[in-house]
């Protein structure tokens, strides 16, 4: 028996904010779950299994939160799995959930990912000084900024390309009622004028710290018949690589390139830029848009910034990227990957509202995590895959 068809028929997310002090972690998850179930026209009683994901436990200081959340997630009497792959976890969690359906193990799987960053401080949690070591670490921005500098040097990109990404995503977010940041009037000039935090990364080129959750309902072919607009899964890939191997390419990681190549093959795509109608790519710092455009094969190495600079990643461009506003506009870390996967599904379901790309038939959802060492991605389509 080969892989069974699987489709997303429910997408739910919270209103992402810096502090969601009105809800507990359980309440935050349920806000997303309840919306996904309404969208799917199902209830928790219809669900066979639950897969939950979130980023490191130090972010909320609750070890193994899936234990106390089990009841709120509707998992009593059902299988509950927790997935962890750092920042890419939202993507890998959705892939684990979809594999349960594709393997024929379950028919209706609910998956949810969340982060409640306001309960802690991610910058602190990612920079805890260790004995014997040099305390020069400065959170995710401090980690990625040198690699952004390397990209700029290698590609010879003009230095304002990052600001183009940030201005685009912040303006896209104005069309997304769930987005955390709704910064009216963001322009390339205003981004360039914002404070330099981790040179070469500016304040406005950095993702916010958000509370939020995302949930998806992934079902088998029979159940999908009841949905007016299922998003069919055309391919899913995860890849990892060693964080600290000598001469590892941190700008264009091998695991990302390999994952993308396998994904396009699985989905029967030969020219991603021509065949993908909308892409939701994990861009927590603006420059990662051109970097991942190259890593994913939308552009040749060193050429990704040309697409960005030419406006081809805008909603009206050849390859619209992050029409939802992306991670740059909402970053509940554990949920950020699933939001990319969910927004891709919304695009091919024609359900993305004001940030809908007209006639989108195939979309990419992408996430990465750790020190650019975990990659998770999927292609979803309006049509059932033929393979």
Partner 1 sequence: MSRTLSAPVTVAFDYTRSTGPVVGRFLSGLRDGVVVGGRTSTGQVVVPPLEFDPVTHEATTEFVEVSSVGTVTSWTWVPEPVKDQPFDRPFAFALVTLDGADVPLLHALDVASPAEVTTGMRVRVRWAAERVGHINDIACFEPLAPGETEASAPAAAGDEPVTGVVTRVSLDYQYAASPEESLFYRGLNEGRIMGQRCPTCQKVYVPPRSACPSDGTPTVEEVELSQTGTITTFCVVNVPFLGQKITPPYVSAYVLLDGADIAVLHLILGVPADEVRMGMRVKAVWKPEDEWAYSLENIDHFAPTGEPDADFDTYKHHL
Binding residues vs partner 1 (CB under 8 A): 19-27, 30, 43-45, 58, 60-61, 71-72, 74, 76, 116, 118-121, 123-125, 127-139, 141-142, 145-150, 153-154, 195-201, 242-247, 249-251
Q: Please, what is the minimum distance in Å from the beta carbon of residue 174 to partner 1?
A: 26
CB-wise, 45 or 358, nearer to partner 1?
Answer: 45
Task: Give the span between the Cα atoms of 15 and 336, in whole angstroms.
Answer: 13
Q: How many whole angstroms from its chain centre is CA 5? A: 22
Task: Give the span between the Cα atoms of 272 and 292, in whole angstroms.
Answer: 13
CB-wise, 300 or 310, nearer to partner 1?
Answer: 300
CB-wise, 243 or 387, nearer to partner 1?
Answer: 243
Token pair 């899913």 in the structure block, residue: 236
CB-wise, 78 or 318, nearer to partner 1?
Answer: 78
Q: Please, what is the minimum distance in Å from the beta carbon of residue 33 to partner 1?
A: 9
Using a 10 angstrom Cβ sphere, with 0-12 exposed, 13-18 middle and 19 or more buried, the burial of residue 370 is middle
Q: Positive or negative CA dihedral for 303, 308, 312, 313? A: positive
CB-wise, 217 or 251, nearer to partner 1?
Answer: 251
> CA geometry: angle at 179 spanning 344 and 176, to 5°?
65
Q: Please, what is the minimum distance in Å from the beta carbon of residue 200 to partner 1?
A: 7
CB-wise, 242 or 310, nearer to partner 1?
Answer: 242
Are 90 and 337 a contacting pair, CB within 8 Å?
A: yes
CB-wise, 43 or 271, nearer to partner 1?
Answer: 43
Q: Please, what is the minimum distance in Å from the beta carbon of residue 22 to partner 1?
A: 7
* CB contact burial 97-126 (16+ within 10 A = b; e otherwise): bbbbbbeeebbbbbbbbbbbbbbbebeebb
CB-wise, 1 or 134, nearer to partner 1?
Answer: 134
Distances (CA, A) of 387 to 257, 344, 374: 23, 20, 27
Q: Please, what is the minimum distance in Å from the beta carbon of residue 216 to partner 1?
A: 18
CB-wise, 19 or 384, nearer to partner 1?
Answer: 19
Task: Give the span between the Cα atoms of 339 and 342, in whole angstroms.
Answer: 5
Q: Please, what is the minimum distance in Å from the beta carbon of residue 143 to partner 1?
A: 9
Q: Please, what is the minimum distance in Å from the beta carbon of residue 35 to partner 1?
A: 14
Strand 6-13 and strand 108-116: pairing?
unpaired
Task: Give the span between the Cα atoms of 204 and 195, in whole angstroms.
Answer: 8
Are 6 and 106 a contacting pair, CB within 8 Å?
A: no
**Residue 77 CB: number of other CB atoms within 10 A?**
5
Are 218 and 7 a contacting pair, CB within 8 Å?
A: yes
Q: Please, what is the minimum distance in Å from the beta carbon of residue 249 to partner 1?
A: 7
Q: Please, what is the minimum distance in Å from the beta carbon of residue 245 to partner 1?
A: 4
């Amino acid at each position: 028996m080969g892989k069974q068809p699987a489709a997303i028929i429910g997408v739910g997310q919270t209103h992402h904010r810096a502090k969601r002090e009105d809800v507990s972690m359980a309440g935050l998850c349920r806000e997303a779950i309840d919306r996904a179930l309404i969208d799917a026209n199902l209830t928790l009683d219809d669900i066979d299994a639950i897969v939950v994901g979130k980023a490191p436990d130090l972010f909320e200081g609750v070890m193994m939160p899936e234990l106390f959340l089990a009841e709120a997630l509707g998992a009593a009497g059902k299988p509950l799995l927790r997935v962890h792959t750092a920042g890419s976890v939202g993507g890998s969690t959705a892939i684990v959930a979809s594999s349960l359906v594709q393997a024929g193990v379950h028919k209706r799987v609910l998956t949810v990912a969340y982060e409640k960053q306001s309960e802690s401080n991610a910058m602190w949690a990612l920079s805890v000084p260790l004995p014997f070591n040099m305390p020069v670490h400065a959170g995710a921005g401090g980690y990625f900024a040198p690699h952004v500098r390397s990209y700029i040097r290698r590609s010879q990109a003009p230095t304002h390309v990052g600001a183009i990404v940030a201005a685009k995503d912040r303006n896209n977010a104005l069309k997304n009622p769930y987005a955390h940041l709704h910064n009216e009037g963001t322009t390339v000039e205003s981004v360039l004028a914002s404070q330099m935090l981790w040179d070469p990364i500016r304040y406005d080129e950095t993702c916010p710290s958000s509370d939020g959750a995302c949930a998806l309902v992934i079902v088998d072919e029979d159940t999908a018949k009841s949905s007016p607009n299922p998003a069919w899964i055309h391919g899913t890939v995860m890849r990892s690589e060693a964080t600290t191997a000598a001469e590892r390419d941190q700008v264009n990681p091998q695991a990302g390139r390999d994952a993308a190549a396998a994904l396009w093959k699985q989905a029967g795509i030969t020219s991603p830029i021509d065949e993908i109608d909308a892409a939701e790519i994990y861009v927590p710092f603006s420059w990662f848009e051109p970097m991942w455009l190259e890593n994913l094969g939308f552009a040749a190495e060193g050429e990704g910034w040309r697409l960005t600079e030419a406006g081809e990643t805008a909603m009206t461009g050849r390859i619209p990227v992050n029409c939802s506003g992306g991670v740059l506009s909402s970053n509940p870390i554990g949920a950020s990957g699933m939001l990319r996967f969910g927004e891709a599904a919304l695009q091919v379901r024609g359900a993305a509202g004001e940030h809908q790309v007209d006639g989108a038939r195939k979309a990419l959802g992408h996430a990465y995590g750790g020190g650019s060492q975990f990659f998770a991605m999927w292609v979803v389509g309006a049509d059932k895959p033929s393979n």
